[in-house]
Amino acid sequence: MKTYELYLIQEDIAKAYFGREYLFFDLFARFSESDSLSEKKVLYKQMMYITTPLQVMRIHHKLEQVLRSFGKYNRTHHTHMLYTGAEYGEITVKSQYIQMSTSGNVSMETTFFEVLRKCELTFLAMDYENKKYGWLNPLKQARTYV
């Protein structure tokens, strides 16, 4: 089972750090792995500075709209669950981030990512276990002419 956390990065910060996404990944991974309360406090402040709170109701509405047409769909409070044959996916929308778990092939991940990609432009998805991360909508690097 793959598990992702998705954060909405402020657009100006996302553009400023284009090509250096590993710095975001390092920050979020350190927060999730840290046992030190004082370190977590500092990292949390940094995370809150670069992220934007989610429009939870809007995201729930989009997920419900799209996922109802796929397989067996169920929603319990803030969690959306989808079963399609041998695949299973679960996505939980919280005020600051989204947690997503999938099993089976990548089509379940793709389904969830496509819905979220249409909601916001600067979602960063991170898989801490496999040390993978990336934008749902690839950012374009701003050209500077000299």
CATH of the domain at 68: 3.30.310.250
* Cα 28 off chain centre by: 12
Give the pLDDT confidence score for residue 105 in this predicted structure.
Answer: 83
Give the pLDDT confidence score for residue 141 in this predicted structure.
Answer: 55
pLDDT in tens, 73-95: 999 999 999 998 888 999 999 99
Give the pLDDT confidence score for residue 126 in this predicted structure.
Answer: 96
Give the pLDDT confidence score for residue 115 in this predicted structure.
Answer: 92
Instruction: Note the pTM of the prediction, 2 decimals.
Output: 0.89
* Residue 146 covered by a domain: no
Give the pLDDT confidence score for residue 146 in this predicted structure.
Answer: 53
* Residue 143 covered by a domain: no
* Residue 99 covered by a domain: yes
**Total of domains in the chain:** 1
One-letter amino acid at 37 equals L
Give the pLDDT confidence score for residue 43 in this predicted structure.
Answer: 95
* Residue 140 covered by a domain: no
Beta-bridge partners for 82: 73, 89
Provide the residue range defining the domain that includes 67. Answer: 2-135
* Residue 83 covered by a domain: yes
- For residue 62, give the DSSP letter: H
Mark the ranges of the chain whose per-residue pLDDT is less than 70: 139-146
